Copies of this chain bind each other. A is one copy, B any other.
Amino acid sequence: MSFTRTWSVRFSDTDPFGIAHYPRMIDAVHETSDMFMEEIGWPYWELNEEHGLGLPLVSMDFDFTGQVNGGDEVEIELDATVGGSSVQFEYHATHDGETVFEGTEFRVCVPLDGDSGVEVPEDLRAALESA
């Protein structure tokens, strides 16, 4: 499913050029996934203690096509796709209708006591796909 949030670019996000520093954009990307997981009832802070699993990042691939400044409102959309033991988050960020950045994160479902992937549990799969 698709989830959208508005990221307000703050003074702290901007660098000496007066534009958002790209590591702060990555913070906004992660925060978007954090808000999404909370929205679907599987917040990151419960994955460990309540579900005994993690969703570590395996790879990321982003294109930056626009710059934003303090005070800009950026719409970040997240689409989740679930594979066997993997989860893919696609991001598309726009400001005033123009794409600012877009990219994909690949995550794998791992039990806390292991490091190889396991099947995404059915209830997590259903939650991710319902969004």
Q: Hey, which chain B residues are within 8 Å of A44, CB to CB?
A: 11, 70
Is chain A's binding surface mostly helix, strand, loop or mixed? mixed
User: How long is the Cα–Cα vector from A15 to B61 in the complex, in angstroms?
Assistant: 22
Nearest to A11 among chain B residues (CB) is B44
CB-CB under 8 A for A57 and B48, given A31-B10, A70-B43: no
Identical chains bound together, number = 4
- The reply to whether B31 and A12 form a contact with Cβ atoms under 8 Å apart is yes
Chain B's closest residue to A105 (CB) is B22
The answer to whether B10 touches A34 (Cβ under 8 A) is yes
Closest 4 CB pairs between A and B? A45-B70, A11-B44, A59-B63, A61-B61
Against B, the Cβ 8 Å flags (1 = close, 0 = not) of A64-87 are 110101110000000000000000
